[in-house]
Homo-oligomer: A and B are copies of this chain.
Amino acid sequence: MENKHQKAQVTHYVMPDKRAAIVRAARAVFGREGYTRASVDAIAAEARVSKRTIYNHYTDKEQLFLSVALAGAADVTKAIGEIMERHLRKIVDIEEDLIAFSLDRVAAIRAFPDHFALVRTIEAEVTRLPPDMLEAWKEAGPLSAHIRLAPYLRKIAERGSLVIDDAEEAANHLTLLTVTDVNQRSFYGAIPLPQEQVDEIVTKGVRTFLRLYLPPSGTR
């Protein structure tokens, strides 16, 4: 236990970014084990931090969990926002761009495996969560992704590439036909789908979406 502060390399007691280490570890352990199974001792070990330190930063196991859940949702929302901006700001080929966007969006889920494992835990614990916390989480996470997609679609429709009257509904449809379908089959990536299957679902999903929203003929 003392072997770390010996010579050097192990940047241990150096940073007050203990907090960040705790958050990362908690995300991993909560995701891996679920809320009840996850022991604070295990989180402390994974964070290379003493259990006492955790309780100096957080009053509760529950508060730690909620804090981590909210932070993760914000991270993911931000990442997805960037993906939207990257693919949907300028449309070249509507089908290609929507497919590329959706593939990246799906890939984002697999880029945050710990967080989405934790999402499954949240959904399981949903009845035991403080209602205001649940609301806050929904808004920081899943809801915000929806709401932020709509304006992009609206703008694309204004340029004439799509025919949309209810942009939020359209956003919902695109999400259901791609991300939700993949998530449901892969349990948010916990039981991963082969990439080719993901490609197929997303491609077909976007094409189906376009059957709903593509202008009838040659409006450019």
> A residues engaging B (CB < 8 A)?
32, 34-37, 117, 120-121, 123-127, 134, 169, 172-173, 176-177, 180-181, 184, 187, 190-191, 204, 208, 211-212
Partner of A169, one of B32, B127, B190, B204: B204
Tell me whether A190 and B120 are in contact (CB under 8 A): no
Partner of A134, one of B37, B191, B208: B191
Given the known A-B contacts A176-B181, A180-B176, are A34 and B211 also in contact in the complex, defined by CB atoms under 8 Å?
Answer: no
6 closest A-B pairs by beta carbon, nearest first, are A124-B124, A36-B36, A120-B124, A126-B187, A176-B176, A36-B37
Chain B neighbourhood of A121, CB < 8 A? 124
Chain B neighbourhood of A177, CB < 8 A? 173, 176
A178 to chain B, nearest CB (A): 10
Chain B neighbourhood of A126, CB < 8 A? 120, 187, 190-191
Tell me whether A124 and B123 are in contact (CB under 8 A): yes
Chain B neighbourhood of A37, CB < 8 A? 36
A31–B212 CA distance with the chains assembled, in angstroms: 38
Given A127-B191, A173-B177, 18 more pairs with CB closer than 8 A:
A34-B34, A34-B35, A34-B36, A36-B37, A120-B123, A121-B124, A123-B187, A124-B124, A124-B125, A126-B190, A126-B191, A127-B190, A134-B191, A172-B181, A176-B176, A176-B180, A180-B184, A208-B212
